[in-house]
Amino acid sequence: SPQVVWDTLGNRQFCSYKITTKTQNFCRNEYNLTGLCNRSSCPLANSQYATIREEKGRCYLYMKTIERAPFPRRLWERVLLSKNYEKALEEIDENLIYWPRFIRHKCKQRFTKITQYLIRIRKLTLKRQRKLVPLRRKIERREKRREEKALVAAQLDNAIEKELLERLKQDTYGDIYNFPIHAFDKALQQQDAESESESDAEKEEEDDEDADKREFVEADDSDLSDFEDMDKLETSSEEEEEEEVEKVSRSKSKGKTPLKGPARRKRPYIEIEYEEETEPATKTKAA
Amino acid sequence: AGDGSGPAGSAAQGGGPPAPERVLFPPTFSVSEIKNKQRRHFMFLRWKQQQRKEKLAAKKKRRKEREALGDKAPPKPIPKTIENQRVYDETTVDPNDEEVAFDEATDEFAPYFNRQTVPKILITTSDRPRGRTVRFCEQLSTVIPNSHVYYRRGLALKRIIPQCIARDFTDLIVINEDRNIPNGLLLCHLPDGPTAHFRMSSVRLRKEIKRKGKEPTEHAPEVILNNFTTRLGHSIGRMFASLFPHDPQFIGRQVATFHNQRDYIFFRFHRYIFKSEKKVGIQELGPRFTLKLRSLQKGTFDSKFGEYEWIHKRREMDTSRRKFHL
């Protein structure tokens, strides 16, 4: 009768545990020993059959014999195997004594594989495990959109420039940068805030600074005339115009020519002071 | 009867001849009560047109009034922005607050701000970092002076931390990576300092930034911290500040910016040049990324038993669009 079962279910007609793929047939039955669909490993088509299954880390040996075939409830007999590997192998041997060689061999192989993966599980749980956190799509989209809007609202470049100019005004940079108008403005502010007697001292300081700048500038072949400082209103407007013209020419080259340290910094300072005749010369220099 | 015929009459016109200039809706009528979808849609469009016309007319009137008044016109109303409408946070730091100043003098960053410690940073990643993350780590280490990148070989953070403390590191940065992109940053201040966990987004490496300059040099950059207003923001700001050496080298003309806007912290690294005393040009070099704070924990990294000072709880904290915590 197992032969009949095999001829109908296993070989020809439909078996619900059978899965066919291109190269092989698998058996989904939970008591199957090898997992393949064969005449010798089908639990339905063999009246004497044994398997190893594990539950919660303990391995059991399941056995099925012809005597219990009419009693499906007591069909599978279960034996707990010891935790010790060798002892468990001996237990398999003594339980399956006089059983076909194939089943015995496959049982032991299966038991070995199962113990190996149990060991691996135990090892991995000791190591650090990556915790996978599911993303929520709506929230991700919302966050992304809010970030974009925040970026637009932040106006980072403007904020940074403003902050840097603030720091320049508050003199955190000390003497590194010297712009004449800046110094003049500061001097003016100091004049307004303090008394006149001190303003004389400051004027002297300004003259000193001018003298320094005059020397500084002459080394680079430019003229700083004295009256420029007096008529600061006019010069500031002139400078702005010149600045704008220069800004246009320089903004194109801003990306390409990386700022090269103090040497470069002198140039804008000088260009401000130049008068119109010499502008073409400076433009070629900048380019 | 009049009301009944009104909607019926105007509904009947729907889809037919063009709408009259001024449609008078009876007061109890609402467009949503028409069952027919096409007609309802048509009536709704007409209603919308009318609204727009009224709005335009009101605008014109207002402008005429304004011009008529000339100088005496009241000042223009300020447009409402999210920052204007922000829900007032009671933990906002007042610059003159003594309590805050006292706290800051005695918190974990006090040794840094008193110049007793020099920052030394260890940058590492999560397990098995992919190329992008590695490159990002390298670029980050060029941005932050005195920082070292170490390859994480499956070591537990809790074991790394005592070793770092023994070797005099002041900060530990762990960049978490998922599917080839860095997406998390853990910043741990070492001698039992607070641990901040951020979610990182829109990471741009140096080669992906357009119009960038040359590589950042070894000079110590300046630090700009913008918009950190609340107590929490203040402590995070100090955390960032303590990554960089206390004395920036102005010769390098580099500046690292942490700008907080609506709870997103934008990091940028620029080189600046002063073209005049009113104009400064900046050029972006270096990586950029945005951070969003997820949790701040007192003490070094300990996810199970740590004492959390602040965790982002989505259900409670994301309810209002005008409420920000940093």
pLDDT in tens, B150-196: 888 878 888 888 888 899 888 899 999 988 899 999 999 888 888 99
Q: Does A160 contact B81 at a Cβ distance shorter than 8 Å? A: no
Cβ distance of B277 and A265 shorter than 8 Å: no
Contact call for A173 and B154, based on CB within 8 A: no
Q: What's the pLDDT at A222?
A: 37
pLDDT band at residue B45 using 50, 70 and 90 as cut-offs = very high
| Tens of pLDDT, residues B247-256 | 888 888 899 9
Output the CA angle A275-A278-A279, nearest 5 degrees.
Answer: 85
Asked if residue B157 lies in contact with residue B302, where contact means CB atoms within 8 angstroms, the answer is: no
Is B112:B243 a contact under the CB 8 Å cutoff? Answer: no
> Shortest Cα distance from B70 to chain A (angstroms)?
29
Least Cα separation, residue A99 to chain B (angstroms): 48
What is the DSSP pairing of strand A25-27 with strand A18-20?
A: antiparallel
Short-list B243, B236, B271, B214, CA closest to B145: B243
pLDDT of residue A76: 93
pLDDT at A151 over 90: yes
Quick check: B274 and A265 CB within 8 A? Answer: yes
| pLDDT of amino acid A260 | 44
- Number of cross-chain residue pairs from A and B with Cβ atoms under 8 Å apart: 114
Chain A residue nearest residue B213, CA to CA: A258
Per-residue pLDDT, averaged over B55-72, amounts to 87
**Bigger pLDDT: A185 vs A30:** A30
Percent of chain A topping pLDDT 90: 41
- Please report the pLDDT score of residue A97 as a whole number: 92
Q: Which pLDDT does position A21 carry in this prediction?
A: 92
The answer to whether the CB atoms of A156 and B268 lie below 8 A apart is yes
CA A205 → CA A198, A201, B300, distances in Å? 11, 6, 54
pLDDT at B66: 84
Give mean pLDDT, residues A249-260.
Answer: 41
Asked if residue B164 lies in contact with residue B115, where contact means CB atoms within 8 angstroms, the answer is no
Task: Please report, for chain B, the start and end positions of each structural domain, with discontinuous segments joined by +.
Answer: 93-318
In this model, does residue A274 exceed pLDDT 60?
no
pLDDT at A277: 55
Instruction: Tell me the pTM.
Output: 0.65
Task: Say whether residue A143 is in contact with chain B using an 8 A CB cutoff.
Answer: yes
Residue B215 per-residue DSSP state:
-
Name the nearest CA neighbour of B274 among A119, A178, A180: A178
Number of residues written out for chain B: 326
Query: What is the per-residue pLDDT for B210?
Result: 83
Q: DSSP letter string over B222-237?
A: EEEEE---BHHHHHHH
Q: What average pLDDT score do residues A218-222 get?
A: 39
A146 touches chain B (CB under 8 A): yes
Q: Does B25 touch chain A (CB under 8 A)?
A: no
For residue A225, the SS3 value is coil
Average pLDDT over chain B, rounded to whole? Answer: 84
Tell me how many degrees the CA angle B313-A149-B282 measures, rounded to the nearest 5: 115
- A99 contact B CB<8A: no
Query: CB contact, 8 Å: A36 with chain B?
Result: no
The pLDDT confidence band at residue B56, using thresholds 50, 70 and 90, is very high
- Smallest CA–CA distance, residue A43 to chain B, in Å, is 44
Contact: A154, B268; criterion CB under 8 Å:
no
Q: How high is the pLDDT of residue B52?
A: 96
User: What mean pLDDT comes out for the span A244-252?
Assistant: 40
Q: Taking the domains of chain A in order of start, what are their residue ranges? A: 2-126
Give the type of residue at A121.
I
A12-47 as b/e: b if 16+ CB within 10 A: eeebebeeeeeeeeebebebbbbeebbeebbbbbbe
Chain A contact present for B274, CB below 8 A? yes
Using CB atoms, which residue from A156, A165, A265 is nearest to B273? Answer: A265
CA–CA separation, B266 and B290 (whole Å): 4
CATH number corresponding to A2-126:
3.30.390.110
pLDDT value, residue B290 = 95
How high is the mean pLDDT of chain A?
A: 74
Nearest one of B226, B251, B225, B126 to B176, comparing CA atoms: B126
Residue A222 near residue A274 (C-beta atoms within 8 A): yes
B265, B258 contact by CB (below 8 A): yes
Residue B276, Cβ neighbours under 10 Å: how many?
19
Gap from B74 CA to chain A (nearest CA, Å): 27
Q: Are strands B121-125 and A76-80 parallel, antiparallel or unpaired?
A: unpaired
Model confidence over B184-226: pLDDT tens digits? 999 998 888 889 999 999 999 988 888 777 888 888 899 999 8
Enumerate the residues of chain B whose CB falls inside 8 A of the CB of residue A149.
262
Is pLDDT above 50 for B13?
no
> Tokens 């009768």 map to which residue?
A1
Q: How confident is the model at residue A179 (pLDDT cuts 50, 70, 90)?
A: low
Of A189, A63, A276, nearest to B277 by C-alpha is: A189
Is the pLDDT assigned to residue A120 strictly greater than 80? yes
Hey, how many other C-beta atoms are within 10 angstroms of the C-beta on A277?
7
Mean pLDDT, to the nearest integer, of B49-55?
95
Task: Give the pair of three-digit tokens for residue B240.
Answer: 């960032």
Q: Look at strands B171-178 and B121-125 and give their pairing.
A: parallel
Strand-pairing partners, residue B267, are B258, B289
> Tell me, what's the ipTM?
0.78
Q: What is the pLDDT of residue B178?
A: 87
* Cβ contact B255–A151 (<8 Å): no
- CB under 8 Å to B118, separation ≥6 — which residues? B146, B170, B245
Backbone angles phi, psi at B187, to 5 degrees: -115, 120
Pick from A159, A275, A278: which is nearest to A228 by CA? A275
pLDDT at B149 over 70: yes
> Within 10 Å of residue A211's Cβ, how many Cβ atoms?
10
CB contacts under 8 A, A 216-245 vs B, are 239, 243
Angstrom distance (rounded) from CA B171 to CA A69: 71
With H, G, I as helix, E, B as strand and everything else as coil, classify residue B178. strand
Q: What is the CATH number of domain B93-318?
A: 3.40.50.10480
Element (H, E) at A121: helix A101-126
**Band (A207; pLDDT cuts 50, 70, 90):** very low
Q: Give every CB contact of residue B174 below 8 A, 6+ residues apart in sequence.
A: B124, B125, B126, B152, B157, B185, B186, B188
How far CA B42 is from CA of A31, A268, B11, B18, B116, in Å, comes to: 69, 63, 9, 11, 74
Phi-psi region at B253: left, alpha or beta (left = phi > 0; alpha = psi -120 to 50): left
Choice among A93-97, A171-175, A283-287, B296-300 with the minimum mean pLDDT: A283-287
Is A181 touching B (CB cutoff 8 A)? yes
